[in-house]
Amino acid sequence: MNHFSIPSLIEKNLHEVQAKIATACERAGRHPDDVKLVAVTKYAQIEWVHFLLELGIEDLGESRPQQLDERASMIAGDFHWHLIGSLQRNKIRKVLPVVKLIHSVDSFRLLEAIDRIAAELGITTSVLLELNLSGEAAKHGFEVLQLRVNRQRFEEFSHLKIDGLMTMAARVDRPEAARTVFRQLRELRDDLADEAFPLKELSMGMSGDFEIAIEEGATLVRIGSLLYEGLVEGST
C-alpha cells in the first residue's frame, strides 16, 4: 500500500477522475455537468463503495445481476444503481425494481422480456441499446443495420423507455484508437433520434478511454479501476 489511508486514497482517485472529466469537457466545449460518472463496483469492497457515496457519488454501476441484487440489499442511501453488464432473461424480475438504468440491452428478445415483466410489476424501466461497433465476436449488441431497419419497433414497447445507446470499444494500448467507435455511436444516435425518440444518453468510455469518449459526446462514463487505484488487489 502507500501512506494514504483507504478513504483518502479513494478521495484522491475520485478527484483525479473528476478533474480529467472536466478537462475533457473543456476540450470538447462541453459542461462537466453534461457527463455523469457511473462508479463501477464490480471489484470494490463494500466499505469502498460507502466511501464513494460519502464523497457524493450518485450513480453506481454493477456488471453482474446477482451481485447487484446482493449489494442493493446491503447498501442504502440516496443514489442509483445501473446495470452495465449482460442481463439474462431469468434475472430480469430481480433486477428491474432495483435499477435506474440498464445499459446493456442487446436484442429484441431481451427488450420484449423486459417490457413484459415491467408491465407485470407495474413499472417503467429505462434502458440503453447496446451496439457492437468494434466487431469483436466476444462482445454483444445490436448491429447498426438492425437498428436502422427496425427503427419503428422501438416505439412499440409500453413499459420501457429507451434513453439512448451504449457501446464498448476494443481494448487497445492507445486510447485514441477508440475514437472511431465512439464517434460512430454518436453519429448513429444523431441519425436515429427524433422528438419521439430523443436518445439523449450515450454510455461509452471506461477507465482507459473515457476522455476520448467525452470528447466524442459521452453522457455516461463507466469507471472502476481508476477509482480504486493503489488499493490491494483481489480483496473484493
Q: Do 148 and 104 form a contact (C-beta atoms < 8 A)?
A: no
Each domain of the chain, given as residue ranges in start order, spans 6-228
Rounded to whole angstroms, the Cα distance separating 179 from 160 reads 30
201 bridge partner residues: 164
- Which amino acid does the sequence have at 96? L
Cα 12 to Cα 23, 51, 94, 234, distances in angstroms: 17, 12, 35, 21
For residue 151, which phi and psi values (nearest 5 degrees)? -50, -45
* One pLDDT digit (tens) per residue for the chain, 236 residues: 456 799 999 999 999 999 999 999 999 999 999 999 999 998 899 999 999 999 999 999 999 999 999 999 999 889 999 999 999 999 999 999 999 999 999 999 999 999 999 999 999 999 999 999 877 766 789 999 999 999 889 889 999 999 999 999 887 778 899 999 999 999 999 999 988 889 999 999 999 999 999 999 999 999 999 999 998 553 32
pTM of the model as a whole: 0.94
Residue keyed to cell 443514489: 79
Domain 6-228 - what CATH class? alpha beta
Contact between residue 77 and residue 56 where contact means Cβ atoms under 8 Å apart = no
Cβ atoms of 103 and 140 within 8 Å: the answer is no
